[in-house]
Amino acid sequence: MSSGHHLLYRPGDSVVHRLPAQVKIVCALLGVLCVVATPRTEFLAFAGYLVLLAVIWAIAAVPFGHIARRAVIEVPFVVIALVMPFLGGGDRITVLGMSLSEQGTLAGWNILAKGTLGVLVSLTLAATTTPGELVVGLQRLRAPAVITTIATLMLRYLEVIAAEARRMRTARVSRGHDPRFLWQVGATARGIGTLFVRSYERGERVHLAMVSRGWTGRMPDYGAPATLRTWLTGLTPVLVTGAVLAAAVWLP
């Protein structure tokens, strides 16, 4: 989208990057469903999923560090998962001299493993697909037009509104405003109110401009349908995930 500073996207020209967004979205969603459906004691299956993700990162040339740094968002859930072995009831087991609940340990592991894999899958999708492509992909998947339209406009106007907020801040600071004290925060709050009103008015003007160019409620579709071959290529990871899941469930 906004060329230059991407938060999650890592520009590249790999097979993974070039896949149509709708294929990648479906792949990520089905992949996560497989992970969630895996019984928590099938430890090898989870290891298999991680290996599969590592292969995808290698193909897409996304360094592990890129993914790892952004996966930090998961930390609050990790904390919960780590607390559970101590709080759970039922049979106790002793690990390194600590008495842990067996049920709690498994529940914690379940959250940790599935949550981490889910976050990693999302980050992989975001690292290889721009926000704009994601919206086009959702549109091709027949997501409600209202949602894709709002997402498109949000992506476009985030920067405009941020720039407006910066200008208003500069104007305040230039007139001696220095919101270090509690009683000065009021001006900042009023600024946010003003920003809302301005954004609302801009929304009305943008709507006018859209209607003037024949808009009737649906954004034009800029994507292209993916061929069967592309779908099969793109869904390979899901097929592998499904195979691992099936093996874990049915093999003794």
24 closest CA partner among 221, 223, 220:
223
Closer to other proteins by CB, 159 or 188: give it. 159
Binding residues among 139-158 for other proteins as defined by CB under 8 A? 152-153, 155-157
What backbone torsions phi and psi does residue 8 show, to the nearest 5 degrees? -110, -30
Q: Within 10 A of 115 (CB to CB), how many other CB atoms are there?
A: 16
Q: Decide: is 172 part of the binding site for other proteins (CB under 8 A).
A: no
Q: Decide: is 168 part of the binding site for other proteins (CB under 8 A).
A: no
Closer to other proteins by CB, 67 or 226: give it. 226
The two beta strands, 92-95 and 98-101, are antiparallel
**Rounded to 5 degrees, what angle do the CA atoms 89, 90, 92 make?**
95
Q: Within 10 A of 107 (CB to CB), how many other CB atoms are there?
A: 18
Binding footprint of other proteins, residue count (CB under 8 A): 26
* Minimum distance of other proteins from residue 18's CB (angstroms): 16
Residue 134 · residue 24 · CB < 8 Å: no
**The two three-digit tokens of residue 33, written as one number:** 């469903």
Which stretch, 33-41, 107-115, 140-148, 159-167, contacts other proteins (CB under 8 A)? 159-167
Closer to other proteins by CB, 220 or 252: give it. 220
Q: Give the interface with other proteins as residue ranges (CB under 8 A).
A: 1-3, 132, 152-153, 155-157, 159-160, 163, 202, 205-206, 208-216, 220, 222
